[in-house]
Structure 1
Amino acid sequence: MSELTRTRHAVRLEATNHEGSLLGKNVSPAKFEAGKEAGFAFADILFAIDLNNEIVLGDAFPEWRGNLYDIHMVPDLSTRVEWRPGLDSVIGDYWLKDGRAVPLCPRNMVRRLVDRLAHLGYDATAAVEIEATLFEESVQEARARGYRDLTPLGGGTGATYHLARSSDWVDYMDAVVARLDHLGISWEAWTDEAAPGQTELNLAPTDPLRLADNWVRTRQVMREVAFEQGHTVSFMAKPTAGFGQGAHINISLQRDGANQFFADDGPSEVMRHAVGGLLATMAGATSVVLPQITSYRRLVDLTGPPTTISWGVNNKTAAVRAITGHPGYSRLEYRLPGADVNPYLAIAVVLAGVLAGIEGRIEPPEQVTDMAWCLPDDSGVERIPDTMSKAWRALAIDPLLREHLGDEFVDFWVASRRWEWMEFHTKGGDPFAELSGWESTRYFEFP
C-alpha cells in the first residue's frame, strides 16, 4: 500500500430518509470544509422512493419534491467523530434552499419537538433497547439464499439471559461494544434475547436527538462488524418465522434537574398526562413505529409485544409501562416499536404523544393491573391496529399527531404505507404465510 493510500482521509455525510435507511456520501476534507455551513446537495428523490428504489406514487408532491430538485444536507458539527482511521463521520439534517427545514426530515422533526418541550420548561431524557438477530452466514451467502434458512449465530436454541452462547456470538458483541466505546456511544448492557441468535443492546440515557443519532450509528456498527467477521445481522421485525424483535423506548422529563415523572405516591401528574397522550395517539402512531408489512406479524398475544392500547405500573404486557418509586429512574417505557423503525420517527411520535398529553392535560384510562394480552372484547381496552391498513387509517384521522408531526408528513406517510401495502399484495407477498419470501428480500437488510 502506498503512503498516499494510507494517509487518504474522507468525511462521510449521514442522514436517514423516512424509511430509516442511513444515507450519505463520502467527501474529501477540502470539499467538507467548503460545504459544511451551506450544506451538501442531495436529490429530493430520497423522499420519493421505496426500499426497492421505485418511485412511490399516490401522494401530493409539493414544490420542493418530485423533479429531482436538490435539497441540502447541513452537517451538525457536534456529531463529527472518527469512524475509523481515514474516515470521519458526521450526521446532518435536510434543509430547503430558502432555509426552511424539509418537512419530512426525521431528524429536524425530533429537534422541533424537543424545542416545543423546552418551551414548556421540560428537558427530556431517553434510552432505547435495540434487538437484532445474528446469523453465521456472510451477507453474500444470505443474499444467495434469499435470506431464508440461515444459521443463528451462537447456537440454535433461544433463551433469554442465557450465557451458554458459543464464543463466535460473544466475540461479535465484544467487537460491537468496543467500536461503540471508540465512537463515544454510551451503552449499558447487552444480553441474549428470546430467539436463537438474538441479542438486546441497551443504549444509555441521553437527550432524544443524541439518542437517535447513537441508535442509527449503533445499527451501522452492528452491520459493519457482522460484515467484517463474515456474519450478517438483521433488524427486520421478524427475520424468521419465530420470535419478532422490537425497540423499547424509555423516556423521562426533567425540570431544573428534577424528574417530573416522580411522585412519592406513584405516577406524578405530569407522568399521568404523558401516559394519557401516548395512549390517545397510539393507534395512529402504530403506523410510524410499525412501518413495514412484517412489523405487524409480531403482534401476537403472549409472545412479548403489546397487543392492546394499555398502560400499567411495572406491567411489561402493556404498551406503556410506568416505572415509578425513585426520583432517579421513574420513567415511561414505550414498548410498541419494532426493530425496523426509523429511530428519529420513533422518538418523534413518543415526544408528540407526551406533548399532546401534557398540553391537553389528558388523563389516561384505568391502568391494566393484570395481563394486558388476551383481554376479552368487553374489557373496554382497545387492541392495537394489527394491520398496516388499519394503522394508516388511524394516523390519517388523528388530530393530535397531525398537529405535532405536521399535515405534510402525515399525508406523505399514509400514502407511502398505502404504496407498501400495494407492493406487497401485487408483487409476490403472501398474507397467509408466517413470513413470505417477498418480505425477507425487501426488509432483511433494511433499514
Structure 2
Amino acid sequence: MIKGFKGRLLTPGDTDYDDHRRIWNEAVHARPALLARCADTDDVALAIGYAHDNGLLLTVRAGGHNFAGRSLADGGVVIDVRDLNGIAVDPERRITRLGAGLRWGQVDPVLQKHGLATTGGSVSKVGVAGFSLGTGLGWLGRLHGLAGDNLTGATIVTADGAVRNVGPSTDPGLYWALRGAGTGLGVVTEFRMRLFPVVQPTTGMLIHRLEDAHNVLWQVVEATAAAPAHLNWAAVLTCAPPIPALPGDVQGRPVFLVPVFSTAPNGVDDPHVQALRRIGRPLLDTIAPTDFCAFQTSTDDAAPDGTHWDVRSEWLTHLDGPAIDHAAAMIEEASSPLSEFLFRPLGGAISAPDAPDTPFSYRHAAYMTEIIANWPSGGGAAERAWTDKGLNGLTHLSAGGPDVNHIGLDEDAHRARSAYSPAARSRLASIKQAYDPEDIFQSPPWVHG
C-alpha cells in the first residue's frame, strides 16, 4: 500500500485493528481508514506523502491521551509514532533525546538513574509528544518552567516530507511554534529536552472533609501566595481514594485533597511544607520523602483506560470564595467517583519576567482549573452537561481561555481559539502557511481567526 514502508499498516479489516486504534478516552469512536504504525522517521515521511497523494485527512497519534481524541479521524490516515521510543541521556550536558512515542512513565525512571528529571506529565501514561507540544504544565513547572520552555530542539517531518532538525538558530519560527502550539505543523519524531537535578522530593497528600474545603483552600491560597518556586501543590475535589486509613463515613464520598510537591533541600522540615500541614484538621497526611517516579505514578489509578471522559478547563486570574463553594457543590453532583474539580497554581518560573518567548499566552494567570467528567458507558450527556455547568460557575475569574491540552469533546472553535492570544494566533498562522500551505495536517483552531 505504501511502497518502502517498514512498519505496520492496519485497516479496519484487520483482526487487531481495534487494538491498535483504541485510545485512552473510550468516548471517541472515530475509525480511520489506515493506521500507519511507523518504524522510523522515513516511515513518517512516506505516510505523509500517501495521505497527501490520496487526499486523506491526516492525524498523528503518540500517547493517545488527549481528551478530545484529536489523534483519530473517521476515514483518515493516522501516523502512529508509538514505536519511536528511543531514549538517550547526556548527564553532563543535562540534555535528553526522547522519541515521540514515549510516555512519561517510560522516561522518568531512565532519567532518575542519573538523578535528573524534566517537566513531565502528572499521570505517567501521558505521552511526551502531546504534553510537550501543548501547555506542558507539570509538577516541576513552577521551579523549571513548562515542557516547551525546556525544549532545546526537535526533529520534525513537515508537510513536504522534509526532515528538519529545528532549534533556536535552525528554522527558528518553527522551533518557537513547537514550544507550546506544535500541532498541525508536522510530525515531531524526537524531542531534545533540558534536564534538572531531582533526587528525592518531599511529596504526599493532605485529605480533608469536603465541608472544610472553603476554609482550608482559602488558607492554602494565602499561605502559598509568596511561596518559593520549589513548592507546588494542587486542590482536587473528588471522591476519597480507596485508603483503609480514612474514616468510614468518607469512604467513597467526596473529599478535598491537597497534593503537595516540594524539592526543598530540608525536605519535610521546609517551613512552607509545614505551613500546609498545619492548615485545618486533615483526615490523612501522607507527606514524606518520596521516590520521584513513585510520585509521578501516584495518580495513575484516577485516570484508568477503558472508560469515558470529557473535560473543561480555564486559566484563572485568581480564586475566590464563591469559586471554591461552586466546586464543592459540583463535586457533590458528580455521577462518577473518578470525576474531579481541580485547581493548579502557576507562578514561579512559569510567570517570571525572564520566561522564554513561546506561544503560551497565559503566563499572567494565577491558576488553571480542570473540570473532569467520567462515565463508564453510554453517551454521557448528563456528565458532559456537568462539565459545562462547572465551567460556567467560574467565568467571572477567567483570564481569557482554556488550556490547549484540556479542550474537551466538541468544544466550539471560539473556545479552542481562545487558548492563545490574538498575537500568538497570528504568528502561528503565518508559520502554518510557511510550512504547510496546503493544510496537509488537520488545521488546529488557532489557524482560523
- TM-score over 0.5 for the alignment? no
Normalised to the residue count of structure 1, the TM-score between the two structures is: 0.30
Structure in which a larger fraction of residues adopt helix: 1
Normalised to the residue count of structure 2, the TM-score between the two structures is: 0.30
